Amino acid sequence: MLACLALLIAAPAAARAQDGRLAARLDSLTGRQVAELLDAARSEKLPVEPLVDKALEGASKRAPGPRIVDAVRRLSAELAESRRLLGPQATPEEVTAGAHALRANIAPAALKRLYEKRGRATITASLAVYQELVAQKVPADTAAASVLALQQAGVRADRLATFQNDVARDIAVGGEPGMSAAATSGLMAGEQAFADGLQTTAGFVPDNRSGTTRPPKRKP
């Protein structure tokens, strides 16, 4: 009895808060099973908040207990796979984004490469663009290749959103999703390469506010 009390006192405040949220929304059996999954995830240094959110989502949508547990277990496996691919230095946000991308059928090798070649853009923004492309029926391989091309070209995260919108617009007027993504990414990567070339050869420097380049300052 005293040992149990000590364990409760020693538990991290966040874990207690999570348990509190889950206890209020899940039945006891489901709550216990989900709590075990959360403990396992913590021990593997995986982010647990996405798992809690998944359980709460199931509870709000009045899903059966076993279905909630299965959903949490599946997401935990995806987080583990993402961590394995990205490595221990990846942030919890990146691991979570990687797990969602895996759910969206990104090839593990593509995810790993995206992380290795992330350049100026954050992987979270790149993976969000990837998921949106897939949602628009762009083949997973093409979507990953497009985002990787933009990342390697050093396209900024805000321009990734522009790329996404350009592809959506092209698809909306009848463009084939894969071709639209490939063509638009090639065009944007080329533009970025040109801008980089200007910087390298003529001293033009990027204007971070406007996304353009400006000429080098003249010496007085």
Partner 1 sequence: MRDPSGRRPSEMNEMDENEARRGARAESEADELIDSVARELRRPVAVGGADFTARLMAEVERGPRPGFAPPKRKENAVVRVLEWAARPRTVRMSPLIGLAAAAGIAALAVLATPERVRFVDRGSDTAVVPFNIKVSDPGAPKAAGASDSVEFVLHAPDARSVAVAGDFNDWNATVTPLARRHDGLWVARVPLPAGRYEYTFVVDGATWMPDPAAPAAPAGDFGATNSVLVVGGPR
Tell the smallest beta-carbon distance from residue 64 to partner 1 (Å).
10
Of these, 38, 110, 150, 168, which contacts partner 1 (CB under 8 A)? 168
As a whole number of angstroms, the distance between CA 129 and CA 114 comes to 12
- Which residues inside 31-90 make contact with partner 1, applying CB under 8 A? 50, 53-54, 56-61, 63, 67, 70-71, 74
Asked if residue 95 binds partner 1 (CB under 8 A), the reply is no
Asked if residue 124 binds partner 1 (CB under 8 A), the reply is yes
As a whole number of angstroms, the distance between CA 175 and CA 99 comes to 29
Q: Which two tokens stand for residue 200?
A: 């390298």
Tell the smallest beta-carbon distance from residue 60 to partner 1 (Å).
4
Our CB check for partner 1 shows the closer of 97 and 181 to be 97
Asked if residue 214 binds partner 1 (CB under 8 A), the reply is no
Q: Which two tokens stand for residue 33?
A: 């099973």
Inter-residue long-range contacts of 97-104, CB under 8 Å, 24+ positions, other chains counted: 97/123, 97/124, 97/127, 97/128, 98/123, 98/127, 99/50, 99/75, 100/127, 100/131, 101/127, 101/130, 101/131, 102/78, 103/78, 104/130, 104/131, 104/134, 104/135, 104/140
Instruction: Give CA angle at 174 (172, 180), nearest 5°.
Output: 80
Tell the smallest beta-carbon distance from residue 218 to partner 1 (Å).
23
Q: Which residues bind partner 1 (CB under 8 A)?
A: 21, 50, 53-54, 56-61, 63, 67, 70-71, 74, 93, 96-97, 100, 103-105, 120-122, 124-125, 128-129, 131-132, 134-135, 156-158, 160-162, 164-165, 168-169, 172, 208-209
